[in-house]
A and B are shown apart, each in its own frame.
Chain A
């Protein structure tokens, strides 16, 4: 299995521009998570989906952030307009949600976003 795939790996953009991050979860996993990692705050959950439906988006910092999961194999995280304080590494993770299972999360390599 290829694991969780994220693109792009690096993104540099100017303040005010729209940024779209992409994630392909592991096939067969039906839970998907978006995290943000910064030196100051560590890893924070932004939003998670179960069976393509957003379950908890309480971690999304502002209305500038939005996430979609149109099907089981693809999700996007969009920031519009972007600001310098959005600079961070954004991780996507997926998990099999089998009743009584381990619910172990598998992480992608991350997208390093720099907003100038």
Chain B
């Protein structure tokens, strides 16, 4: 059974710092990996989706990498801002399945 782990569970940084969020999964047979952002009391917003054949995806200040063989992904946020404060969730779609398996998220607080 696929399991997804996110470390750290919570992170607090001052504005302007570059930071890395980690995601690991137990079964490397995945179709894709998706990073989401969740604001308090809100739904999930998709940030980046990486296909299993890809190594990384970039969107603005966000960069997500994927190392399928080691079962790891990282989300890099450059020049963090208070508006980046949210919970970031990683989810993998196993091969042969249409569903996602989620990690429990990293709660990020960026202070001014």
Chain A residues in the interface with B (C-beta under 8 A): 4, 31, 33, 42-45, 48, 50, 55-56, 91, 93, 95, 97, 102-110, 112
Q: What's the nearest-Cβ distance from chain A to residue B106, in Å?
A: 12
**A106, B49: Cα distance in complex, Å:** 12
Q: B11-19, B59-67, B68-76, B94-102: which one contacts chain A? A: B94-102
Interface secondary structure of A, over-half rule: strand
Give the residue name and chain of the B residue nearest to A50 (CB): B98
Kindly identify which residue among B41, B91, B99 contacts A48, using a CB–CB cutoff of 8 Å: B99
By the criterion CB–CB under 8 Å, are A105 and B100 in contact? yes
Among A43, A48, A50, the one with the most B-chain Cβ atoms within 10 Å of its Cβ is A43
What would be 5 A-B contacts, judged by CB atoms less than 8 Å apart? A42-B105, A56-B99, A91-B44, A102-B49, A108-B43
Count residues of B near A (Cβ-Cβ below 8 Å). Answer: 23
By the criterion CB–CB under 8 Å, are A106 and B102 in contact? no
Given contacts A31-B98, A42-B103, A48-B98, is CB(A105)–CB(B31) below 8 Å? no
Give the residue name and chain of the A residue nearest to B102 (CB): A43
| Chain B residues positioned under 8 Å from A107 (CB to CB) | 36, 43-46
**A6, B46: Cα distance in complex, Å:** 18
By the criterion CB–CB under 8 Å, are B46 and A109 in contact? no
